[in-house]
């Protein structure tokens, strides 16, 4: 037997997981233990739940009594700084298990009674937007205790970002964090990726195709919420691959009232058969728009880029084409002119390469911006894998980022060139001496 077949010992093994309860217990213990051992990871994670900096202690299955009944939250996190103590109860779900409003409210009552600060829930449910909890609870129970949610996708993203991109100074702590990452990435850990579009996906998809979906129909709001969660998942996934924070573009009104925003998306879905949102990547030339047209069953990713502020129209077009010289030829390029309505011209990249002037509708009008878009067929199945909607959106965003976003740079004006001074006449009293204003 050769050593190539030997399996290295792991700090957090996946072997021996016999069921959901064992899966949750092991995931909880692994995560909380690493939080208490790796301060860099704990600091970056706990600041998202407004915990102070300090010494982190963690515990699992701590018993409490509420109304003469025992309750055991999956974990407790405590941060101590001087005389101040910040404490949070932790409730964990793995696999397809979802959080229970009744259970969360019971832990909120315990936290209030004990004078604790927060309740943190962890599951594979992805928030529709940052700060929006996936489970609806009685808001009266949030008067003295705050409620936060971490998805396993978010935790994995934060762990990878901290280890691979930000860096952990202590090599032993870096190895321990790496063991947590390996565990969470394993299929048996129960930390799953975004799985599907919900039970109403097929019904809503078919109703849009048939033209029978109406605003307010049951299920459209759920599909809209799942789409927001998908964008949130894509932003986390892309961010951990890039080593930076990729965020959803949301208006202030959407952040303050996510329920109304979800309903607006559902209404657009019913009336137009479309749903979309935008992502912001640091230092990208613009926001990445992701839109699905369920009537034509197409996905479109696009980005707007400002044109150079000088030069002829064809010069501006060529500036863009040079940046896309190795990109796929089925990209669509649209040009927009100053004070114009809508695109003035649109061509596929392969045709624009042959004749850049096709993107110039009027040589007398100034091109102010371009839109680069990729449109591909949409997967229609509910879950994950070949032919599924979720995977088709994820793959389209990945391809668009690789082929377009990372290649586009903002236009920079040429620096002014230093002029060579003309020789001055030798007679200092001569009124015809050349001054700097004569150049």
314 and 222 assigned to the same domain: yes
Give a yes or no: residue 434 inside a domain: no
For residue 425, give the DSSP letter. P
Banded model confidence at residue 436, pLDDT cuts 50, 70, 90? low
- pLDDT at 286 exceeding the cut of 80: yes
Burial (0-12, 13-18, 19+ Cβ within 10 Å), 329: exposed
Give the closest residue to 307 by CA, choosing from 356, 250, 374, 248. 356
- The model's pLDDT over 5-15, given as tens digits with 9 standing for 90+, comes to 676 777 887 77
Q: Are residues 238 and 378 in the same domain?
A: yes
pLDDT score recorded for residue 131: 76
Domain identity same for 221 and 364: yes
Q: Which helix (H) or strand (E) holds 303?
A: strand 298-306
Within a domain: 415: no
Of the listed ranges 187-196, 304-313, 354-363, 395-404, the least confidently predicted one is 187-196
Q: How many helices (H) and strands (E) does the chain have?
A: 12, 14
> What confidence tier does 106 reach under pLDDT thresholds 50, 70, 90?
very high
Q: How far apart are CA 400 and CA 396, in angstroms?
A: 6
Stretch among 287-291, 401-405, 413-417 having the lowest mean pLDDT? 413-417
Select the more confidently predicted residue: 18 or 101: 101
Decide if pLDDT at 67 tops 60: yes
Higher-pLDDT residue of 17 and 250 is 250
Given a cut of 80, whether residue 166 has pLDDT beyond it is: no
Instruction: Show Cβ contacts of residue 127 under 8 Å, excluding neighbours closer than 6 positions.
Output: 133, 134, 149, 151, 229, 232
List the domain range (segments joined by +) for residue 359. 201-407
- Residue 399 lies inside a defined structural domain of this protein: yes
- Sequence-separated (6 or more) residues with CB below 8 Å from residue 362: 337, 344
Q: Which residues pair with 70 in a beta bridge?
A: 65
Burial class (CB in 10 A: 0-12, 13-18, 19+), 97: middle
21 & 148 share domain: yes
What is this structure's pTM? 0.78
The answer to whether position 417 is within a domain reads no
Whether 158 and 283 share a structural domain = no
Strands 55-60 and 367-377: unpaired
pLDDT at 251: 87
Are residues 86 and 127 located together in one domain of the fold? yes
| pLDDT(428) > 60 | no
Instruction: State whether 233 and 360 are in the same domain.
Output: yes
User: Tokens 């114009």 belong to which residue?
Assistant: 340
Specify whether 69 is located in the same domain as 133. yes
pLDDT at 344: 81
- Averaged over 392-415, what is the pLDDT? 93
388-396: list long-range contacts, CB under 8 Å, 24+ apart. 388/196, 389/197, 389/201, 389/205, 389/292, 390/194, 390/195, 390/196, 390/197, 390/230, 392/299, 393/230, 393/234, 393/290, 393/292, 393/299, 394/234, 394/237, 396/290, 396/299, 396/301
Would you state the structure tokens that stand for residue 407, as one six-digit string?
């290649």
In total, how many domains does the chain have? 2
pLDDT in tens, 14-27: 776 777 888 889 99
């Amino acid at each position: 037997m050769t050593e190539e077949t030997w399996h290295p010992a792991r700090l957090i093994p996946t072997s021996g997981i016999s069921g959901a309860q064992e899966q949750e217990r092991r995931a909880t213990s692994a995560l909380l233990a690493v939080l208490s051992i790796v301060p860099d990871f704990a600091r970056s994670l706990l600041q998202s739940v407004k915990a102070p900096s300090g010494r982190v202690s963690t515990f699992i299955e701590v018993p409490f009594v509420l109304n003469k009944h025992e309750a055991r939250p999956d974990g407790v996190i405590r941060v101590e700084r001087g005389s101040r103590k910040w404490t949070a109860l932790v409730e964990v779900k793995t696999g397809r298990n979802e959080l229970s409003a009744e259970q969360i409210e019971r832990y909120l009552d315990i936290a209030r009674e004990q004078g604790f600060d927060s309740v943190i829930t962890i599951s594979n449910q992805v928030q529709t937007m940052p700060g929006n909890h996936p489970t609806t609870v009685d808001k009266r129970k949030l008067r003295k205790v705050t409620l936060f949610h971490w998805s396993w996708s978010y935790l994995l993203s934060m762990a990878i970002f901290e280890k691979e991109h930000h860096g952990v100074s202590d090599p032993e702590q870096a190895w321990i964090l790496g063991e947590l990452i390996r565990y969470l990435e394993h299929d048996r850990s129960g930390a799953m990726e975004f799985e599907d579009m919900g039970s109403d996906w097929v019904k809503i998809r078919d109703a849009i195709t048939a033209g029978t979906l109406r605003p307010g129909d049951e299920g459209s709001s759920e599909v809209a919420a799942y789409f927001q969660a998908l964008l949130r998942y894509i932003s986390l996934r892309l961010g951990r691959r890039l080593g930076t924070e990729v965020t959803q573009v949301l208006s202030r009104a959407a952040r303050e009232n996510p329920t109304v925003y979800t309903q607006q998306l559902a209404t657009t879905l019913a009336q137009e058969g479309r749903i979309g949102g935008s992502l912001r990547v640091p230092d990208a030339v613009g926001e990445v728009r992701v839109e699905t047209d369920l009537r034509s069953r197409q996905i479109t990713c696009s980005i707007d880029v400002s044109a150079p502020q000088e030069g002829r129209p064809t010069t501006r077009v060529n500036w863009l084409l040079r940046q896309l010289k190795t990109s796929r030829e089925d990209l669509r390029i649209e040009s927009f002119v100053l004070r114009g309505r809508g695109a003035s011209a649109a061509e596929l990249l392969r045709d624009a390469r042959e004749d850049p002037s096709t993107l110039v509708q009027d040589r007398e009008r100034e091109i102010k911006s371009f839109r680069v878009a990729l449109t591909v067929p949409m997967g229609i199945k509910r879950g994950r894998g070949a032919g599924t909607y979720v995977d088709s959106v994820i793959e389209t965003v990945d391809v668009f980022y690789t082929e377009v976003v990372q290649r586009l740079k903002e236009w920079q004006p040429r620096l002014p060139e230093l002029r060579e001074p003309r020789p001055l006449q030798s007679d200092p009293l001569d009124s015809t001496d050349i001054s700097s204003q004569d150049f």
